[in-house]
Structure 1
Amino acid sequence: MITIKEVAEFAKVSQATVSRVLNNHSTVKEANKEKVYNAINELGFQPNSIAKALASNRSNSIGVLVGALEGSFFGNLMKEVEKKTRDANLHMIATCGHMDKKVEAESLHFLDSRRVDGLIVHAEKLEDEDLIKLAKHDRPLVVVNRHIEEISEQCFYIDNELGGYLASKHLIELGHRHIGIITGDMNKMDCRERLIGYHRAIQEAGIEPSMDYVYHGTYETESELNKALAKQLLDEHPQVTAVLCQNDNIAMATYDECDRRNLVVGKDISVIGFDDSVYCRYIRPTLTTVNYPIREIGINATNMLLNQLNGSKLPVQKRFNPELVKRNSVHSII
């Protein structure tokens, strides 16, 4: 096994210089960095990451907990975090909570065992108290897609109520009065907030709210539940002229059911989504939706960690307002 001593001898620098290069010290001259990196490549040196972490109290890694490893939402989040961390000479270690409280806790324990320097957490099932407790540790923490008042300075989120309101108001302004809605899992705060926005918009318009039009689904991709609910909604309420879907996956299930019934989305019925997933602009008709700036949230969350870890002064925005993205799946009936 190649040692730091051998790397130092090959590079003709001190062992201390090699150690500083491995630990990303800013005081090392570029010429010496190049010598050390050349020696590492030539000799095939592999530093012991655990020993290095113990010695420096830094692992040069960021831990990320996400709800799933599929779909554009979490994919875009991890893409931006990985890019920012790599640009800062750090590495990202990602794990998945699978929207299960026990698995989320186990995943955080795993990241702790890897001695990550900071955490970016998207937790669906852990209680607020769990995250508040986690925030009291010395390790920097940021929470995405969730606002907890006690640790609000560490939370990155959008105004979900506004997003639900904008989508609903758009349908109402185009003459729709019978608006069905398929939500995500109502245990999620963002689902409840989007539903509040829906109710606010219809109440402002003087429309009598009907819980009969509200069906509780899931954000998950290719969900049989969402397909069944889209069918049930249209079976039970043929008077519905528009379906408000709390994410784009639900909208895709609704598209499928409309196609099965030979209903043309954007002409016979209107459908609106939430998230502005990448496929929304490529399906036909293109999907009107509410954007969720998950890329920007990933960038800003990572900026905050880097500021805490490296003393950087990168810009940080924590609260974001969603915007309606108008495409071709909604039509006027006025």
Structure 2
Amino acid sequence: MITIKEVSELAQVSQSTVSRALNGHPTVKEANRAKVFAAIEKLGYKPNAFAQALASSRSNSIGMLVGSLDGPFYGPLMHMTEDTVRQKNLHLIVTSGQESHDKEADSIRFLQSRQVDGLIIHSDKLSDDELIKIAQQTESTIILNRYIPELAEKCICIDNELGGYLATKHLLENGHTTVACITGQMSKIDSRDRLQGYRNALAEYGIQYDTNLIVEGRFDHDGNHEAVRRLLDRNENITAIFCQNDNIALAVYDVCSERGITIGKELSVVGFDNDTYSQHIRPRLTTVNFPVREMGVEAANGVLSLLNQDKQSLRNKLTPELIIRDSVSKLGE
């Protein structure tokens, strides 16, 4: 194995000069830097990453906390974040909180123990105060899908309230007045904001909010079929449902198939997220696009900007978009 000593001998500079050149130290003369890298290329020397980290006080890694390691939301989020940081020769270390406060806190402690250079946090369970403390401990921290006034410049979120409004308004524009909503877990800020958007659209059209038209589901697949059955059994006059994500919409499709209800004719459905399969099921699902891939890129660029103390502006709020397909009919046609 080629050593730094051999590189220094071939380049005819000291070992400390080789080390400083590898770490981009500005005091290294350009002529010496050129000799060092010429020697490295000739010998095929591969720097020890751990030794480099000690010398530069950086681990060349970014830590990321997410709710789950699979699924149509977290998968693209992690992929785009990792792809972006790798372009800067850094590595992403990802861990999951699994909807547990203790696991989220433990995951953050683990990432900090690895001395990651920055953190990207998607947390449902940690309090604002806890996240503020973490951001004080690790200055290069980006918070996803949460808005904390004290960390406003470090938060990236989608306008979930606008998304819920767009979905519901589309149903109302098509003549539906008995519009139900199946939420995600109400412990999540996304669910509460999307429900508020639903309420805003109803108010705009002069329709009274009715709690009998609301049931709580989950953003994953657990228990959504029963939530759909309960909703339909409760009110036979429902003509449209706003599902707070596309997983919930899939459960609506299944239950309607069981009961012989034709989606897009007898019942209109709007989802949220624009998952890949939403354009492949039949009828194709009208849904709200969550720019999750853009969020991954923004998260990575944001933490890199903080790490390098750049003045690059951060897109703090991403805008959802209604994708109109075939699952909504105009009432009376």
| Secondary structure of the corresponding residue to residue 156 of structure 1 | strand
Cα distance in 1 between the residues matched to 2:39 and 2:328: 61
> Which deviates more, 169-178 or 53-62?
53-62
Alpha-carbon deviation of 1:52? Answer: 3.7
Cα distance in 2 between the residues matched to 1:148 and 1:244: 28
Cα distance in 2 between the residues matched to 1:332 and 1:273: 17
Contact 1:21 1:36 in 2 (8 A): no
Cα distance in 1 between the residues matched to 2:240 and 2:42: 62
Which letter does structure 2 place at the counterpart of 1:227?
Answer: H
| 1:36 is the counterpart of 2:40 | yes
Cα distance in 1 between the residues matched to 2:131 and 2:321: 29
Equivalent position of 1:194 in the other structure: 194
Please, what is the CA RMSD of the aligned residues? 2.3
- Going from structure 1 to structure 2, the CA distance change for 1:254 and 1:13 (only over 3 Å counts) comes to farther
> Which deviates more, 4-13 or 298-307?
4-13
Which letter does structure 2 place at the counterpart of 1:328?
Answer: D
1:228-287 deviation line (CA, Å, top 9, x unaligned): 101111122221111111111111111111111122221221111111112212222211
Task: Please point out which of 255, 258, 278 is paired with 2:256.
Answer: 258
Contact 1:24 1:89 in 2 (8 A): no
Equivalent position of 1:106 in the other structure: 106
Contact 2:85 2:92 in 1 (8 A): yes
Q: TM-score, normalised by structure 2?
A: 0.90
Q: TM-score, normalised by structure 1?
A: 0.90
| 1:294 is the counterpart of 2:292 | yes
- Going from structure 1 to structure 2, the CA distance change for 1:185 and 1:34 (only over 3 Å counts) comes to farther
Equivalent position of 1:320 in the other structure: 318
- Going from structure 1 to structure 2, the CA distance change for 1:214 and 1:107 (only over 3 Å counts) comes to same
Question: Identity percentage over the alignment?
Answer: 47
Q: Give the gaps of 5 or more residues in structure 2.
A: none
Alpha-carbon deviation of 1:32? Answer: 4.9
Which letter does structure 1 place at the counterpart of 2:297?
Answer: I
Which letter does structure 2 place at the counterpart of 1:209?
Answer: Y
Q: Give the gaps of 5 or more residues in structure 1.
A: none
Equivalent position of 1:87 in the other structure: 87
Task: Please point out which of 225, 230, 242 is paired with 1:244.
Answer: 242
Equivalent position of 1:283 in the other structure: 281
1:148-194 deviation line (CA, Å, top 9, x unaligned): 11211110011111111111111011011111111011111121111
1:63-116 deviation line (CA, Å, top 9, x unaligned): 111111111211111111111111111111111111111100011011001110
Equivalent position of 1:57 in the other structure: 57
Equivalent position of 1:267 in the other structure: 265
Alpha-carbon deviation of 1:24? Answer: 5.8
Which letter does structure 1 place at the counterpart of 2:40?
Answer: V
1:213-238 deviation line (CA, Å, top 9, x unaligned): 10011111x32x11110111112222
> Which deviates more, 86-95 or 312-321?
312-321
> Which deviates more, 5-14 or 116-125?
5-14
Count the aligned residue pairs: 328
Contact 2:23 2:55 in 1 (8 A): no
Equivalent position of 1:145 in the other structure: 145
1:2-38 deviation line (CA, Å, top 9, x unaligned): 6433455577775345534654668775785475366
Equivalent position of 1:333 in the other structure: 331
Cα distance in 2 between the residues matched to 1:261 and 1:10: 79
| Secondary structure of the corresponding residue to residue 119 of structure 1 | strand
Alpha-carbon deviation of 1:303? Answer: 1.4
Contact 1:67 1:98 in 2 (8 A): yes
Equivalent position of 2:203 in the other structure: 203
Contact 2:119 2:138 in 1 (8 A): no
Cα distance in 1 between the residues matched to 2:200 and 2:317: 21
Equivalent position of 1:47 in the other structure: 48
Cα distance in 1 between the residues matched to 2:41 and 2:227: 57
Alpha-carbon deviation of 1:139? Answer: 3.1
- Going from structure 1 to structure 2, the CA distance change for 1:75 and 1:12 (only over 3 Å counts) comes to farther
| Secondary structure of the corresponding residue to residue 146 of structure 1 | coil
Equivalent position of 1:229 in the other structure: 227
- Going from structure 1 to structure 2, the CA distance change for 1:332 and 1:319 (only over 3 Å counts) comes to same
Equivalent position of 2:5 in the other structure: 5
Contact 1:297 1:318 in 2 (8 A): no
Equivalent position of 1:306 in the other structure: 304
